[in-house]
Every structure is written in C-alpha cells, then in structure tokens.
Structure 1
Amino acid sequence: MGKLSDLFANLTPNWFASIMGTGIVATAAVTLPIQFPGLRIAATVLWGVVFLLLILLTASTVVHWVRHRETALSHHNHPVMAHFYGAPPMAMLTVGAATLLLGKDVIGERLALGIDAGLWILGTVLGLASAVAVPYLQFTRHNVTAADAFGGWLMPVVPPMVSASTGALLLPYVPSGQLGLTMLMACYAMFGLSLMASLIIIPLIWYRLALHKDLAASAVPTLWIVLGPLGQSITAANLLGSNAHLVASGTLASALEVFGVLYGVPVLGFALMWAALAAVITVRTLRRGLPFSLTWWSFTFPLGTCVTGLSGLAAHTHLAVFEAMAVGGYALLLGAWAVVATRTFHGSVVKGVLFQAPGGAAPVGAASAGVASCSVVGSSFGLPRRA
C-alpha cells in the first residue's frame, strides 16, 4: 500500500485541467450549429471516458490527502499552485454538463439530471470558495508582485462563470416562480463576480507582458487561459438569455436574450485579438523550445469556451460567419486536445515522469524573492518568478 500510494505523492490540483480540457471537447460538440454524422456518438464516448477519469482522479486526490496530507496542505501556500484550486470545481461542472447533454442518451435523463445537479452544487460551492479563498491568500500570504502575473491567476475566479453557464442548462428543470427566478439571478450574480475579477486580473497580465517581457517558456501556454473567462462569459450570457423565458417573463426575459448578443459580440472581438497575440507568442516560443508540461492543457478548455460562445452567438443571430467560426474553432480544439492528451498519456503512463517528484524545485510554500516555481516536467506548472 505504501509503494502504491507513493504514486500519488506529487499529485496536484492542476491535474483536473485535463478533465476540463477533455470534457469541453464533448460538450462543445453538442452545441455546434452544424452537426456532422457520428459527432454525437464520438462525443458520448468521450463523455464516458471523462466521467471515468473524474472518478479516478478524485479518488487519487483522496488518497493523496490521506497518505500525503502534509504535501496536500502545503499547496495553498504556494504562490503558483494555489491558483489551480479552481481546476477541480470546473472539472466537476464540465463533466456534469456533459452528463446532462450526452450521458442522458446512455443512463437516462432522470439519472443524468441527478448527477449533473449534484456536480453543479458541489462544483459551485467549491468554485465560490476558491474565488474567495485563493485571492485572500494572495492578498495576505503569498509573496508576489505585479511582475509575477500570469494566466493562472484567473483560475480561481473563473469557476463561478462556469457555474453560470452550466446552471443555465438546469433552468428547464427548475420550477418556475420564485425558485426559478432565484436560480437565474444567482447565475447572473456569479457571471458578474467572475467577470469583474477577470477584468482586474487581465490588465495585470498585459502589464507584465508589456513591461517585463520575461515570461518563461513553460508559462507561455497559460496566456491562453485569458480566453477562458472571455469565451465562458459569452457562453453564459447566451445560454442564460436563451433559457431566461423559462423562469422569467415579459421585458426581463427579452432583455436578457438580447443582452447575450450585445455583450457577446464585443467581447468576441477582444477574445480574437488576444487569441492572435497568444498564438504568435506561442509560435515564437515553439521555435526556441517549448517543453511539455501540464500547462499545455491551457490550449484546450479556454479555446473550447470560445467555441461554445460562438455557437451561442450563431444560435441567436443565425449568422453563417459565426457558424463557420464555431466549426473552425472546434477543429482547432480537436487538434489541440489530441496533441496534449497524447503527450500527457505518454508522460504519465508510458514514461511516468509526470508523477515524479519535482527535481530541484523550491519547497512548496517558500516565500523568498526568487522562488515560486514547480517542476516543468513534474505534476506542477513550471512558472519561475523574477529574481
């Protein structure tokens, strides 16, 4: 038992990013405005895989906390790793949504709804906790400056936005009246929580890039995380607008539906600009050398949220250009997921290096000026800070 549990000694919360990245491939397939033969079947198979992975990774995390409690308790003091506590709730929310959208074809709608509701409640509670607890730790304990800003700072504040999107899928099953309207308003409140926090953090990332230009190669993929709150907010605004009429009526329901488009299109413009910047920086880094690490999962989930956002805009505007962009974005998502999933499988199963202890990395929780890194080949994200 001791040797077996050692496999989980270096398990970190960022592993749940693989669940997020895989789950979004399944859910984005369902919402595409143009459906292709076999797409839903393939997405359903992928849902089965990601559902099993969530169970296995959750069980592994429990083992990690039981057998390696000191290490587990130290993660929240690490100025980099602490932010990835936002990954587990987003993984739960993503799998829950995929269960309702796809799993109902296999296990029945009633069971799928129960699973989704359970995962939504748990993911929402944990997500709200991460949105408050991690910034609190950053404000009071972590030794960081604006020069340390990176995409991972968004991770703990994005889960409420995912709750808003996936909560919209539950609105058809919530009784109309006070309960339904309360659910709708709660989703919009979480939408605002995540949006406002993201609008504070994104300029800090821009500031670091513009003034310091020192982003480590291993941190470059995290630039794509910025697309997460952008794409997810477009998705949330359109999904909530689409289903608002189920629990609200009259002018309010109509206004919320219009808001989805009026908000989504301008934000899409910025998302496309950021995607272009992230792409050229990534290509530039690839030419110089971009070592594989779990940061590569940043290429998947954020892009997937943009695909679902585009699908929502296409459904409301019926514009062919949005439909084409959604399909094209999904093709890019599939390609990115295939590469990252293959590299992760090779690193964790074939070579086993992703479960090795970080070699030469500073102790978790170290607060000295030049220390905030984890192994770039281990289970952590390698994000060295400025000295």
Structure 2
Amino acid sequence: MAAPLAPAATEAPAVPVPRFDYLPVALFGSVMGLTGLSVAWRLAAARYGLPALVADAIGWGAVLTFLALALAYGAKAVTAWPAVTAEFRHPIAGNLFGTVLISLLLLPFVLHDLSPALAAAAWIVGTGGMALFAVLIVSRWMGSRQQLAHATPAWMVPVVGLLDIPLAAPALSLPHTQTLAMAALSIGLFFAGPLFTLVFARLVFEEPLPPAQRPTLMILVAPFAVGFSSYTATFGRIDAFAEALFLVGLFMFVVLLGRLRDLPRCCPFRVSWWAVSFPLAAMAVAALRYAEHVRAVPADILALALLALATAGIAALATRTLVGIARGELRRLAG
C-alpha cells in the first residue's frame, strides 16, 4: 500500500523589499523652496521686467519634484510602513510631515495657469490636511510631557504652517474663503509667539543643535516672512503691523544667515540642508512685496539682493542633490 503523501509545505508570504526606506519626509521642503522661488521670480518679473520664463521653469521644476517625491515616498509607505510610522511618531521628524501639506498649498501658484480646477483641488486638500495635522500635533504636545531638547525649529511647521493657507487663496477666487484665511492667519500668528519663545529658549539654554539639524534654524524666519505675505493676502494691504512683521523677519534673517555662513565648511551636505530653501524664498517674496509698497531704491536693492541670494542658494542645493542622486549617494545624504 502506498505511503500517504506528505502535506505540502506552506509557503511564507512574500515580504516586499523596502524601497526608499531612508527617504525623509522633510525632503518635501525642496518643493516648498522651489515654489516659493517661482513666486519670487514672478513678482520680480512684474516689477522689474525680469524674464517670466525663469519663474515658469522653476515652478514646473517644483511640480516635477513633488511628483517624484510623492512616488518615492509612496513606495516607502507600501514597502517600509514601519519606517513611515516611526518617522511620524518621532518628536522632531514627525512635525515635518507638514511639508507635504504646505507643498500642496503652494503648488496652486504654478498649477493655476494649467488648470484652475486642479489648483483649487490641491489647495483644498492641503488646507483640510493642514488643519487636521495642526490639531493632531497640538493634541500630541498637550497629551504627554515633552522634552525641551525636542523643541527645535521643526516644531514651527505643524501650526505656524497654517499661515500658508491664505497665500494662494486670492488667486483661486474660491467662495467663502475669507473666514478660513482669517482663521489660519490668526491661529498661525497666535502660536508663532509661544513656539518661537520655546525654541529660542531651547537654543539658548540647551546643547547646540546637532549638525544635521542646524539648517532648520532658518525656519525661525518663516513666521515673520510668511506671516507678512499671509497678512497682506488676507487683507489686501500693507499696514504698520505687516511692516513690523517684515522688519522683524529681516532682523532674524540677518542673525541666522550669520549663524549658518560656516555651514558648508563645518558640516557635510545632507538633504536636510533643503530646510533653508523655503525661508530664503519666503524672505525674497516678502521683500519684493514690500518694495512694491514703499517704492524706494533701498527697498528695491534689498529685494533684488534677497532674490539673488535665494536663487543662488536653491540652485546650489538642487545641483548638489542631483549630483548625489547621479552618484548613488542619496541614502548617505539622507542620513
């Protein structure tokens, strides 16, 4: 009599090979920087007659960068979900998920010429996501004891990032957005004060930031530079309060630029350096809008100087990043 057949071995389910598990979500800050620079060049083209083609090229570069990062980070979410959840739960890196949503709030500046409906959809998704993200992060902060050492400039992103909501709203001409813009402006400015104080105290009384986090210092300019642009977009004017926001932002910009001038010599390049791109662009945009308001030669010189600095800085970041990708160094640069 034939022996009974042995039961077939059960095959273990295939485990997907992790893809882009090293990719930090903070790299979406590059989209913010590129989009902001595109807006700055568009303003400069309108005031000084500079080529509008430059603004278009930078803007479409931002769109392509967003699509590439969305695909890459989507692959990370599918194949290395634990890495995504660990990054989200991190007390510092988790705040930078707001860069994805802020990118959606800024891209309508570029997308509007292609499709107003697509631009509006991106803005609506970004607005809803940013509001929910802000509520989630503030609830996290209040729900458990936080460590002062974790209070880095990245903490500005989840709530102060609400200031980006009003920026593109006037161009989209969507109904019933004035109250929403006012709420975003109010909440963003309200939380900017205590968060700035908290981060400033951490920088003064605790150990210096690790080299990889030092570029994030420039984020401290954003509440004032973006706050200025957000205020003018919401109310359609530049008054004494808006001017004060711009001047405080300019002061902080000078201070932080001095702090970061030795960064290329003391710290090797990492993709975290992209954290300086959006504050650079936001300061250039604010200066160009301020120059249009005061119509004085010194303001024009300042605006053009900041535009040149932002352009050179972001071009250097883009070149070094692309060279690193071509050399297969992205994993090391993301570390």
Answer whether TM exceeds 0.5 for this pair: yes
**What residue is the counterpart of 2:10 in the other structure?**
none
Change (3 A) 1:4 1:230: farther
RMSD: 2.2
Cα deviation for residue 11 of structure 1 reads 2.5
| Equivalent-residue separation in structure 2 for 1:91 and 1:159 (angstroms) | 10
**What residue is the counterpart of 1:233 in the other structure?**
227
| Equivalent-residue separation in structure 2 for 1:10 and 1:217 (angstroms) | 18
**What residue is the counterpart of 2:301 in the other structure?**
324
Matching residue's letter, 2:39: T
Larger deviation, residues 132-141 vs 263-272? 132-141
- Does the Cα contact within 8 Å between 1:220 and 1:281 map onto a contact in 2? no
Matching residue's letter, 1:378: A
**What residue is the counterpart of 2:326 in the other structure?**
350
3-state DSSP class of the match of 1:158? helix
**What residue is the counterpart of 1:87 in the other structure?**
99
Is 1:295 the counterpart of 2:295? The answer is no
| Equivalent-residue separation in structure 2 for 1:8 and 1:285 (angstroms) | 27
Deviations 1:243-291 (A, max 9, x none): xxxxxxxxxxxxxx3xx3222211222212211221222125555x122
- Does the Cα contact within 8 Å between 2:151 and 2:198 map onto a contact in 1? yes
Q: Equivalent residues in 2 for 1:187-226 (5 A)?
A: 187-226=181-220
Deviations 1:23-68 (A, max 9, x none): 111111112263344x211221222222122122212222222222
| Equivalent-residue separation in structure 2 for 1:278 and 1:213 (angstroms) | 17
Is 1:26 the counterpart of 2:29? The answer is no
**What residue is the counterpart of 1:273 in the other structure?**
251
Is 1:119 the counterpart of 2:122? The answer is yes
3-state DSSP class of the match of 2:269? coil
**What residue is the counterpart of 2:150 in the other structure?**
148
Cα deviation for residue 319 of structure 1 reads 3.2
Deviations 1:73-129 (A, max 9, x none): 2222111210101100111122222222xxx2xx4xxx2x11210110011111112
3-state DSSP class of the match of 1:341? helix
**What residue is the counterpart of 2:7 in the other structure?**
none
Change (3 A) 1:328 1:4: farther
Is 1:56 the counterpart of 2:51? The answer is no
| Equivalent-residue separation in structure 1 for 2:158 and 2:268 (angstroms) | 25
Matching residue's letter, 1:119: A
Q: Which has the larger radius of gyration?
A: 2
Cα deviation for residue 5 of structure 1 reads 5.9
2:84 to 72, 90, 96: 72
Deviations 1:136-168 (A, max 9, x none): 223335x64223322111111233211111113
**What residue is the counterpart of 2:334 in the other structure?**
378
- Does the Cα contact within 8 Å between 1:34 and 1:323 map onto a contact in 2? no
Change (3 A) 1:189 1:319: farther
Identity over aligned pairs, percent: 19
Matching residue's letter, 2:272: T
3-state DSSP class of the match of 2:48? coil
| Equivalent-residue separation in structure 2 for 1:64 and 1:216 (angstroms) | 26
1:312 to 263, 285, 289: 289
Q: Which runs of 5+ in 1 are unaligned?
A: 243-256, 357-376, 380-387
**What residue is the counterpart of 2:134 in the other structure?**
131
Matching residue's letter, 1:60: A
TM-score scaled by structure 1?
0.77
3-state DSSP class of the match of 2:261? helix
